[in-house]
């Protein structure tokens, strides 16, 4: 009879940062090149600050940036990228326009040339803009039929009030009103190299990649005004908002709690407190409402960082008939951690998870590119990973308890539940004062 016992872990391997180089070009563009030669590819991320941009125009710009220049059509650009195994696309967030892509590393020069072609000469041709306008309008309609989107929209309104973050999806009517001339104007004003950051990760020599980027993008110019977002307002306590979605077979629970940015002294402790609460599968909340009670499939809780502020967002889709009990358990688990310190082994488990996740996140080209780009957008570099690891390793149980008391207290939460109000309002009203509205796109 063999005994089967859990093997001990081997020694932790030290976090090893990849080789990287950085250069600020005369036009203000920062270029960061990182070597990770695992596969013969390159990942590209270009972060362009875009806070406070007109929402519908910004969304349309991101959809039509690659629609053609004075010398190339949309199809020609796409075909030229494809020829070197490449692809580029743009996406809009509340803080930035992000151009993302990848390709065979032997095509890096060509991909950068095509990127420069578009950044310098995107023409926003009328026909292509008209096509994309309808596609975007249709896409928004589909999004507005998704419970997750509706719940998120309602939560953002509650969290941010009059701040620009309060609305992150434009109305269909606003999109239909966008004209090519407005896109050209927005491009001229905001798609500019100063304060933009280009990250290249892959099977490359960093010095040579910087030279290639400088050759291709050194002549990119453009300048308008610099735009700063006001700080996000603090969360304002309010009654639990029930958003009616008649006949919904599930309810979408959303809670926002206060949080701090990555460099704040409480940040590492807050991350660990969030993990213990609900930030990973082996958390109290997930073990409770999924593995014990079967109320839900994929509950999650995450510290979300934006330039103007951070927040902790708790989200679960639960069966309509258990909406009240699921909310009760959620408030209970938040309150329990805000009131009593976590156990030592719970904290160690969360700490190991946080540290391991950093190693895994850095182990692919795409992971590194995303991390480096996001960090750079917030003024940080990959070196911060070493500092963050050290902080995670050093956080004490008292610090986690203090962070939980400050940030996870359910009395500070802003709460929205989207679902069939006729069936869920009364059970929720038993737990907290409730207000009600109809689902709004």
Partner 1 sequence: MKIPATKYPVERFTLDNGLRVVLAPDRSAPVIGVAVVYDVGIRSEPEGRTGFAHLFEHLMFQGSENLEKLAHFRHVQGAGGSFNGSTHLDYTDYFETLPSNALERALFLEADRMRGPRLTEENLRNQVDVVKEEIRVNVLNRPYGGFPWLKLPPVMFDTFPNAHDGYGSFVDLESATVADAAEFFQRYYACGNAVLAVAGDLDVSAATELIERHFGDVPARPAPTLPDFAEPDLTAERRESYTDRLAPLPAVAAAWRVPDPINDFAAYLPYVVLAEVLTDGDASRLVERLVLRDRTVTSIGGYLGFMGEPFEVRDPTALLLQAHLPPGGDVDKVLRTVDEELDRLAADGLTPGELARTQARMATHLLRDTDAVLGRALEMAVLEQQRGEPGLLNELPRLVAEVTEEQVRVAAATLRPQRRASVEVIAGGAK
The first and second tokens of residue 322, run together, are 């258990």
Report the SS3 class of residue 173.
helix
Handedness of CA 95, 99, 105, 111 (dihedral sign): negative
373 binds partner 1 (CB under 8 A): no
User: Is 325 among the residues that bind partner 1 (CB under 8 A)?
Assistant: no
Q: In the bound complex, what is the minimum distance in angstroms from residue 239's beta carbon to partner 1?
A: 25
| Residue among 242, 94, 52 at smallest CA distance from 154 | 242
- Shortest Å distance, C-beta 268 to partner 1: 15
Sheet holding 240-244, edge to edge: 300-306, 309-319, 250-258, 414-419, 240-244, 434-438
The rounded distance, in Å, linking the Cα atoms of 160 and 306 is 12
Q: What is the Cβ-side half-sphere exposure of residue 122, based on CA atoms within 13 angstroms?
A: 31
Task: Give the helix, strand, coil percentages of the chain, each rounded to 5.
Answer: 45, 20, 30
* 183 sits near partner 1 (criterion: CB under 8 A): no
- Scanning residues 420 to 439, which ones bind partner 1 (CB under 8 A)? none
CA dist 125 and 122 (Å) reads 9
The least distance separating partner 1 from the CB of residue 85, rounded to whole angstroms, comes to 4
* Tokens describing residue 140: 């928004």
384 contributes a contact to partner 1 by CB under 8 A: no
Binding status of residue 365 toward partner 1 by CB under 8 A: yes
DSSP state of 386: H
For position 366 contacting partner 1 by CB under 8 A, the verdict is yes
C-alpha distances out from residue 191 to 24, 47, 122, 186, Å: 17, 10, 10, 8
Site residue total, partner 1 (CB under 8 A): 84
Q: Tell me the closest approach of the beta carbon of residue 110 to partner 1, in angstroms.
A: 9
* 87 counts as binding partner 1 under rule CB under 8 A: yes
Stretch that binds partner 1, among 73-81, 223-231, 263-271, 307-315 (CB under 8 A): 73-81
* Residue in 42, 59, 24, 373 with CA at minimum distance from that of residue 186: 59
User: Of 281 and 387, which has the nearer Cβ to partner 1?
Assistant: 281
Neighbours of 352 (CB within 10 A): 14
- Is 39 near partner 1 (CB under 8 A)? yes
| Dist CA 422 CA 441 (whole Å) | 20
Q: Which stretch binds partner 1 (CB under 8 A): 20-28, 32-40, 50-58, 190-198?
A: 32-40
Under rule CB under 8 A, which residues in 289-308 are in contact with partner 1?
290-298
Least separation in angstroms between residue 171's CB and partner 1 is 13
Q: Which of 55, 318, 385, 428 binds partner 1 (CB under 8 A)?
A: 318
Using CB under 8 A, which of 46, 97, 104, 115 touches partner 1?
A: 104
Which secondary-structure segment (H or E) carries 391?
A: helix 383-394
Six token digits for residue 200: 């290249």
Residues 119-158, one symbol each (x = binds partner 1 by CB under 8 A, - = not), give: ---------x--x--xx--xx-xx-xxxxx----------
Interface stretch with partner 1, choices 192-200, 207-215, 314-322, 373-381 (CB under 8 A): 314-322
The single residue among 49, 51, 94, 103 that binds partner 1, judged by CB under 8 A, is 103
Shortest Å distance, C-beta 71 to partner 1: 16
The pair of structure tokens assigned to 316 is 């679960």
Among 304, 348, 398, 437, binds partner 1 (CB under 8 A): 348
Q: Which stretch binds partner 1 (CB under 8 A): 24-32, 115-123, 210-218, 276-284?
A: 276-284
Q: Is 4 in the site for partner 1 (CB under 8 A)?
A: yes
Task: Name residue, tokens 């620009």.
Answer: 164
Cα–Cα distance between 441 and 151 in angstroms, integer? 10
- State which H helix or E strand residue 373 sits in: helix 365-377
Task: Give yes or no for residue 40 binding partner 1 (CB under 8 A).
Answer: yes
- Return the number of the residue (115 or 196) whose C-beta is nearest partner 1: 115
Q: Which of 52, 185, 280, 305: binder of partner 1 (CB under 8 A)?
A: 280
Residue 417 C-beta: closest distance to partner 1, Å: 14
């Amino acid at each position: 009879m063999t005994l089967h016992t859990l093997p001990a872990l081997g020694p932790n391997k030290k976090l090893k940062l990849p080789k990287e180089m950085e250069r600020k070009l005369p036009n203000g563009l920062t270029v960061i090149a990182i070597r990770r030669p695992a596969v013969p590819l390159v990942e590209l991320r270009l972060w362009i600050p875009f806070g406070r941009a007109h929402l519908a125009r910004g969304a349309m710009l991101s959809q039509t940036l690659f629609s053609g220049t004075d010398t190339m059509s949309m199809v020609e650009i796409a075909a030229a990228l494809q020829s070197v195994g490449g692809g580029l696309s743009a996406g809009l967030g509340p803080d930035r326009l992000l151009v993302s892509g990848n390709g065979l590393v032997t095509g890096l020069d060509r991909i950068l040339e095509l990127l420069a072609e578009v950044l310098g000469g995107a023409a926003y041709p009328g026909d292509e803009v008209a096509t994309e306008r309808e596609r975007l309008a249709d896409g928004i309609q589909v999004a507005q039929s998704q419970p997750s989107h509706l719940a998120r929209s309602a939560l953002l309104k509650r969290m941010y009030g009059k701040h620009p973050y309060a609305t992150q999806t434009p109305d269909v009517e606003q999109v239909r009103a966008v004209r090519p001339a407005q896109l050209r104007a927005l491009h001229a004003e905001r798609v500019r190299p100063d304060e933009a950051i280009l990250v290249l990760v892959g099977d490359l020599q960093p010095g040579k990649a910087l030279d290639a980027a400088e050759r291709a993008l050194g002549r990119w110019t453009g300048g308008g005004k610099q735009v700063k977002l006001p700080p996000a307002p603090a969360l304002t306590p309010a009654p639990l908002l029930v958003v009616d979605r008649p006949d919904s077979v599930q309810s979408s629970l959303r809670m926002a709690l206060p949080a701090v940015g990555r460099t704040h002294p409480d940040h590492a402790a807050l991350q660990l407190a969030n993990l213990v609460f609900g930030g990973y599968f082996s958390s109290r909340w997930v073990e409770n409402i999924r593995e014990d009670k079967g109320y839900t499939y994929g509950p999650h809780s995450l510290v979300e960082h934006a330039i103007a502020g951070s927040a902790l967002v708790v989200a679960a889709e639960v069966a309509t008939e258990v909406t009240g009990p699921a909310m009760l358990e959620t408030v209970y688990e938040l309150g329990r951690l805000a009131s009593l310190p976590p156990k030592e082994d719970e904290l160690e488990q969360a700490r190991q998870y946080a540290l391991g996740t950093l190693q895994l996140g850095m182990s692919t080209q795409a992971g590194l590119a995303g991390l480096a780009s996001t960090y750079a957008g917030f003024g940080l570099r990959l070196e911060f990973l070493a500092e963050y690891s050290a902080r995670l390793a050093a956080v004490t149980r008292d610090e986690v308890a203090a962070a939980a008391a400050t940030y996870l207290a359910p009395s500070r939460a802003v709460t929205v539940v989207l679902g069939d109000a006729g069936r869920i309002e009364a059970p929720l009203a038993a737990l907290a004062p409730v207000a009600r509205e109809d689902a709004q796109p």
